[in-house]
């Protein structure tokens, strides 16, 4: 077990004063609180929109895991690639995607980040270096190795310098049992690829608890060690713990051009997807975790540290509710894709019935704002 883990364990619960726990500035802490509240509110409204049948298909809610996406994203640089699985709204928002593009994508509208062609499970944001949103369990893990391979190749082979990047590859504990994940880790270990496999270990792959599907369930970093990859364990319900732990790991991977595997213990407060009655776990277990809410934790610590008061928190909450409301209005006002969009983006060049490509608004807006 690493030093990082020991620090995280000791500090978990946030009982020590903030200044002792983190070098983060009050502005950074305030930003993380804002991001977690944004993800929470966004997901609440996503569930409503799903129930109103404004969102179709499969839809996986991130509530409960906010500290993971926010803390991990804060620990790397904007130019570092991120790739994740299908429970991806939180990562998109934490990476900086405006909620309107994310909501419009789920509404199947042209204003969506992928012009309504990807849906809830496939959020892509090129301006913010988010490489998806991938729907097949574990499929993103070789891609994550490849993103890390590419930044290393560009830094070292093309530019002739040393490695400057690190890739975050998120996966759920369910993906631990996919063969692709082992191949991705073996290659990362073999080729010294700067990629961090961040396991968002919420204890369940759909309805199967981790001990029913995974060997070494109490110490999953053993799987990375088998590939020569350093393992770390972090508590995932406190964004400061996640940030501090991940910052040290990411800095190390970047400097040494090596992979890492991180087991972050978290919990999804909602079901696997919108259609999950959650019969496989007890109400008591859910309540136990709900008392450990990552937003409450940071809010209380910031109040204790005099960085925000109750009124300030309420005002922030109101502001975010307004922002998410606006994103829904924007998504609803965005037209459905023109039927010609059926035949764009299949191939880069135009031929036969295929119309070439056209960029979504998320890209053209970013270029205008540059």
Partner 1 sequence: MSDRVIEFREALREAMSQEMRRDEKVFLLGEEVAQYDGAYKVSRGMLEEFGPRRIIDTPISESGFAGMAIGAAMMGLRPIVEFMSWSFSLVAADPILNNAPKMLYMSGGQFGCPIVFRGNDGAGGQLGSTHSWCVEGMFSNVPGLKMAIPAFPDDAKGLLASAIRDDDPVFFLESERLLAMKGHVPEGDHYVPFGKALVRKPGTDVTIISFGRPVHFCLEAAEELEKEGISCEVIDGRTIRPLDLDTIVASVKKTNSCVVVDQSWSFGSPGSEVAAQVHAACFDDLDNHVMRVHSADVPTPYASNLEQEYLPNARRIAEAVRSALYVA
* Shortest Cβ 39–partner 1 spacing (Å): 22
Residues that bind partner 1 (CB under 8 A): 81, 83, 112-118, 122, 124-126, 131-134, 136, 139, 141-151, 153-154, 156-158, 179-180, 182-184, 186-187, 190-191, 344-349, 351-352, 357-360, 362-363
Q: How far is the CB of 108 from partner 1 (least distance, A)?
A: 12
Query: Minimum distance from CB of 35 to partner 1 (Å)?
Result: 23
SS3 233: strand
Q: Which is nearer to partner 1, 184 or 261 (CB)?
A: 184
Ranges of beta strands (E only) in 35-183 are 82-84, 130-133, 167-172
The C-alpha torsion from 251 through 256 and 261 to 262, rounded to 10°, is -20
Nearer to partner 1, 18 or 113 (CB): 113
CA angle 106, 110, 116 (to 5 degrees): 40
Q: Which is nearer to partner 1, 154 or 216 (CB)?
A: 154
Instruction: Name the percent of the chain in helix, strand, coil, to the closest 5.
Output: 50, 10, 40
Minimum distance, C-beta of residue 10 to partner 1, in the bound complex (Å): 36
Alpha-carbon torsion, ordered 3, 186, 254, 264, to 10 deg: -50
DSSP string, 56-76: -S-----TT-HHHHHHHHHTS
Report in angstroms how near the CB of residue 231 gets to partner 1 at its nearest. 19
In the complex, the smallest distance separating the C-beta of residue 25 from partner 1, rounded to whole angstroms, is 32
Nearer to partner 1, 12 or 141 (CB): 141
Task: Report whether 235 contacts 65 (CB < 8 A).
Answer: no
| Residue nearer to partner 1 on the CB measure, 74 or 83 | 83
Strands 167-172 and 82-84: parallel
Tokens 């959020």 identify what position?
A: 123
Euclidean distance between CA atoms 192 and 75, whole angstroms: 20
Q: Which two tokens mark 92?
A: 């998109």
Shortest Cβ 94–partner 1 spacing (Å)? 18
Cβ proximity to partner 1: between 8 and 147 the closer is 147
Nearer to partner 1, 8 or 176 (CB): 176
Answer yes or no: are the C-beta atoms of 69 and 91 closer than 8 Å.
Answer: yes
């Amino acid at each position: 077990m690493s030093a990082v883990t020991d620090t995280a364990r000791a500090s978990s619960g946030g009982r020590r004063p903030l200044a002792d726990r983190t070098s983060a500035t009050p502005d950074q802490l305030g930003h993380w609180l804002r991001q977690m509240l944004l993800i929470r509110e966004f997901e609440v409204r996503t569930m409503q929109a799903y129930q109103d049948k404004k969102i179709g298909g499969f839809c996986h809610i991130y509530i409960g895991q906010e500290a993971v996406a926010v803390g991990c994203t804060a620990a790397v640089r904007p130019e570092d690639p991120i790739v994740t699985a299908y429970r991806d709204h939180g990562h998109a928002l934490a990476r900086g995607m405006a909620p309107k593009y994310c909501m419009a994508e789920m509404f199947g509208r042209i204003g969506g980040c992928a012009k309504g062609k990807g849906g809830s499970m496939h959020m892509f944001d090129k301006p913010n270096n988010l490489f998806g949103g991938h729907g097949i369990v574990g499929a993103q893990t070789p891609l994550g190795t490849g993103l890390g391979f590419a930044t290393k190749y560009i830094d070292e082979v093309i530019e002739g310098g040393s490695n400057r990047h690190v890739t975050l590859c998120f996966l759920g504990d369910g993906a631990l049992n996919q063969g692709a994940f082992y191949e991705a880790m073996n290659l990362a270990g073999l080729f010294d690829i700067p990629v961090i496999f961040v396991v968002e270990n919420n204890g369940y792959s759909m309805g199967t608890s981790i001990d029913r599907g995974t060997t070494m369930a109490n110490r999953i970093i053993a799987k990375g060690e088998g590939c020569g990859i350093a393992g770390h364990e972090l508590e995932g319900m406190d964004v400061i713990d996640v940030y501090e732990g991940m910052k040290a790991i990411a800095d190390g991977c970047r400097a040494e051009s090596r992979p890492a595997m991180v087991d972050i213990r978290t919990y999804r407060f909602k079901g696997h997807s919108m259609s999950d009655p959650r019969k496989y776990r007890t109400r008591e277990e859910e309540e136990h975790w709900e008392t450990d809410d990552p937003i409450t934790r940071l809010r209380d610590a910031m109040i204790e540290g005099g960085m925000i008061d109750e009124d300030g928190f309420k005002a922030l909450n109101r502001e975010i509710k307004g922002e998410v409301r606006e994103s829904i209005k924007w998504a609803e006002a965005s037209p459905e894709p023109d039927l010609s969009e059926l035949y764009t983006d299949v191939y880069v060049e135009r031929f036969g019935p295929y119309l070439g490509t056209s960029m979504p608004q998320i890209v053209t807006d970013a270029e205008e704002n540059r």
